[in-house]
Amino acid sequence: MHRPIVLCFVDYYLPGFRAGGPTRTIANLVDMLGDEFDIRIVTRDRDFGDTKPYEGMKIDGWNQVGKAKVFYASAATLSLKGLRKVIRETEHDAVYLNSFLSPKMTGLPLLLRRLKQVPAKPWILAPRGEFAPAALAAKALKKRIYLLASRAAGLYDGLTWQASAPHEAQDIRSVLGSLAKRVFIAPDLPRAPSEAVQDRLPIASRRPERPLRLVFLSRLAPVKNLDFLLDVLSTVRREVELTIHGLQENAKYWQQCEAKLAALPANVRASYEGAVMPEDVPHAFSKHDLFVFPSRGENFGHVVLESLSAGTPVLVSDRTPWQGGESDALEVLSLDKPEAWRDAIERWSSLDTSERSIRRDDALDFAYDYIEHRAGIEECRQLFLDAMGLSAEATPAVRTRGRRATMSVGRRAARPAAKVAARPAEHSDAWSDAAIAARSVA
């Protein structure tokens, strides 16, 4: 059976990892839906911040990477002429853009579309949280000018917009108004579960009584809010340990954090351990009792689910789509109440080894339940099929569920999962009437 072809544009892709969420989102999409859709990815020939192209990859040509074909574009190809050639010569049924603000991977393809220099196909744009108030506030003038210019050029007429959650659909409509006529909610997909993951998880829980081990693992940028966490820790009265992992992408911000690190009280021991390779993230999380993530805004937050999948509970801010209350392993706190973060950390530090072990099992149960029942595979599948005007029979009947029994030997049964139906943020007459359940993942 012919698989529908999705031509995907994203600034950075595997083997790169420094760009964070968007790279992981597309990799997970390929892993989950690559058997049903022929996904062809156009991306840069190097990772974020690198000065040299990837080694061992064909540049300005197609490479088989997992279930996807990947075109690593040189700087010369990332032009109107170069991208016109790539799009015209690549068979596709839909074009999938993965940023609103990327000049090369979104702006130029949309301009080619507007000038009618490429085939008339359905186009889908996923802004990946770029319309969130916190995201728009950074370099606000530059973004405002770009938005005004691109709107005036008519680049967004007739697009389908992907929102990862209802709140992002609201952000898109708030910024674009009548231009956002077709906004569909299809969540970012999580990483597929590993069958061997349980063998490396309960590291922290086996250790004798000791101070609570906290971890912060994310990009070291203002939006991730490490400075807030350090301010909270300066008021904590119990003994705790903090490990910081992440890329220093903002030198001035890291200097501010270093000053706060130096001022921490003696009962708080903190260390910066650098970045973590993607394959080492589960192990890095598993060595700690609690992941503290006071982000100022997330579109998905893969790192939260990765922590839970490693058996490490999470404290997360209320500026993400994560919902608290259904598991002791996930607690959502307001950034307007730093004292609540202090109290939560002190409460966690009072738990003994046995209680921490129970919370680790809660985290694993929550993660497996989400991946099994609420991962959003059906919504993403339907997003592409609807944009292309195809029925479900247009793709091979491939299902990825039913894995948990082989992975969670000896674990407690998962909690009942909410059923989630895909529908657009508007035009509900074209979709199921079932309401979208409250989601736990950004």
Burial (Cβ within 10 Å: 0-12, 13-18, ≥19) of residue 357: middle
Q: Would you state the pLDDT for residue 189?
A: 86
Q: Would you state the pLDDT for residue 227?
A: 98
Q: Would you state the pLDDT for residue 256?
A: 97
Least confident of 123-127, 207-211, 386-390, 418-422: 418-422
Most confident of 95-99, 306-310, 353-357: 95-99
Strand partners, 63: 70
Least confident of 17-26, 145-154, 223-232, 306-315: 17-26
* Domain spans of the chain, in order of start: 5-185, 197-371
pLDDT band of residue 61 (cuts 50, 70, 90) is very high
Query: What are the start-end ranges of the E strands in 117-239?
Result: 123-125, 160-163, 183-185, 212-217
Fold of 5-185: Rossmann fold (3.40.50)
pLDDT band of residue 301 (cuts 50, 70, 90) is confident
Answer whether residue 49 shows pLDDT above 70: yes
Per-residue pLDDT averaged across 233-260, rounded?
A: 96
Burial 271-303, CB ≥16 within 10 A → b, else e = ebeeebeeeebbebbbebbbbbbbbbbbbbbbb
pLDDT band of residue 441 (cuts 50, 70, 90) is very low
Answer whether residue 338 shows pLDDT above 80: yes
Answer whether residue 244 shows pLDDT above 90: yes
Answer whether residue 388 shows pLDDT above 80: yes
**Cα–Cα distance measured from residue 368 to residue 372, given in angstroms and rounded to the nearest whole number:** 6
CB within 8 A of 13, min separation 6: which ones? 23, 26, 27, 41, 43, 65, 70
Answer whether residue 420 shows pLDDT above 80: no
Reported as a single tens digit per residue, the pLDDT across 399-419 is 444 333 333 333 443 333 333
pLDDT band of residue 208 (cuts 50, 70, 90) is low
CATH number of 197-371: 3.40.50.2000
Could you tell me which of 272, 297, 292 has the C-alpha nearest to residue 346?
Answer: 292
Reported as a single tens digit per residue, the pLDDT across 262-295 is 999 999 999 999 999 888 999 999 999 999 999 9
Q: Would you state the pLDDT for residue 159?
A: 96
Answer whether residue 300 shows pLDDT above 60: yes
Answer whether residue 387 shows pLDDT above 90: yes
pLDDT band of residue 373 (cuts 50, 70, 90) is confident
Most confident of 166-170, 214-218, 221-225, 327-331: 214-218
Structure tokens at 66: 């997992």
pTM above 0.85, yes or no: no
Q: Examine residue 416 and say whether the peptide bond preceding it is cis (omega within 30 degrees of 0).
A: no
Structure tokens at 401: 């569920």
Per-residue pLDDT averaged across 338-347, rounded?
A: 97
Per-residue pLDDT averaged across 431-441, rounded?
A: 29
pLDDT band of residue 358 (cuts 50, 70, 90) is very high
Answer whether residue 193 shows pLDDT above 60: no
pLDDT band of residue 438 (cuts 50, 70, 90) is very low
What pairing do the DSSP bridges indicate for beta strands 314-317 and 290-293?
Answer: parallel
Per-residue pLDDT averaged across 186-193, rounded?
A: 80
Greater pLDDT, 212 or 19? 212
Per-residue pLDDT averaged across 384-408, rounded?
A: 65
Greater pLDDT, 122 or 326? 122
* Mean pLDDT computed over every residue of the chain: 85
Most confident of 86-95, 176-185, 278-287: 86-95
Which residue intervals of 103-214 are DSSP H helices?
A: 108-114, 133-137, 140-152, 166-176
Could you tell me which of 358, 374, 355, 351 has the C-alpha nearest to residue 412?
Answer: 358
The reply to whether 5-185 and 197-371 are identical in fold is yes
Q: Would you state the pLDDT for residue 254?
A: 97
